[in-house]
């Protein structure tokens, strides 16, 4: 009972210490559209699991950095206009070649289809490749915030 009371008393203090965690992403239209990453030759489902983990880490990282996201399950280069009203979209691909996992994420401007940034990682271990989502999120958030009208 004391633990619950202590938690209730400290909750407002935690919001002051971590305003980003308390407020979440900004309201309104999403800034970045996310689609499930494509996978190449994945008969065992290993690459799909890796792609989904990387995507979830990217999504968590963007929202933790105050970037509003929207999920688009069928977004591709050809269907990029469907990401509107988001200004940016992130598409990715995960593959495996010569025993190494490889992931590439591309930040695209929705209105033009131009590639603004590209992030990639290759490793024989899947964990560093899955962490590409976390590492790229901070850089993408900084880029989005630096753009006029973002």
For CA atoms 50, 56, 58, 60, give the dihedral sign.
negative
Q: How far apart are CA 147 and CA 150, in angstroms?
A: 6
Domain residues for the domain of 122 are: 26-146
Answer yes or no: is pLDDT of 18 > 80. no
Q: How far apart are CA 136 and CA 144, in angstroms?
A: 12
Contact 137, 62 (CB under 8 A): yes
Answer yes or no: is pLDDT of 137 > 60. yes
Percent pLDDT > 70 in the chain is 81
In a domain, 118, yes or no: yes
pLDDT, tens digit, 9 for 90 and up, residues 25-49: 445 689 999 999 999 987 789 999 9
Buried b (16+ CB within 10 A) or exposed e, 27-47: eeebbbbbbbbebeebeeeeb
Question: What are the backbone dihedrals phi and psi of residue 81, each rounded to the nearest 5 degrees, phi first?
Answer: -60, -20
In a domain, 133, yes or no: yes
Q: Give how many domains the chain has, as a whole number.
A: 1
In a domain, 12, yes or no: no
In a domain, 114, yes or no: yes
pLDDT, tens digit, 9 for 90 and up, residues 64-79: 999 999 999 999 999 9
DSSP summary character for residue 150: -
In a domain, 9, yes or no: no
Task: Report, in angstroms and rounded to the nearest whole number, the Rg of the chain calculated over CA atoms.
Answer: 18
Task: List the single range of 43-47, 111-115, 139-143 with lowest mean pLDDT.
Answer: 43-47
In a domain, 11, yes or no: no
Give the pTM: 0.79
CATH classification of the domain holding 92: 3.40.50.10070
- State residue 103's pLDDT score: 97
In a domain, 42, yes or no: yes
Return the structure tokens found at 96. 């495996």
């Amino acid at each position: 009972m004391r633990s619950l009371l202590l938690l209730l008393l400290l909750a407002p203090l935690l919001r002051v210490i971590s305003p980003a965690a308390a407020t979440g992403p900004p309201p309104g239209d999403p800034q970045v559209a996310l689609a499930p990453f494509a996978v190449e030759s994945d008969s065992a489902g290993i690459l799909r699991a890796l792609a989904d983990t990387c995507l979830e880490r990217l999504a968590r990282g963007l929202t933790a950095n105050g970037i509003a996201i929207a999920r688009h399950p069928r977004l591709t280069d050809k269907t990029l206009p469907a990401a509107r009203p988001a200004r940016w979209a992130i598409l990715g691909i995960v593959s495996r070649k010569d025993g190494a996992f490889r992931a590439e994420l591309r930040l695209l401007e929705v209105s033009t289809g131009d590639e603004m940034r590209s992030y990639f990682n290759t490793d024989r271990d899947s964990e560093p490749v899955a962490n590409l989502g976390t590492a790229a999120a901070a850089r993408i958030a900084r880029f989005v915030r630096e753009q006029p009208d973002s």
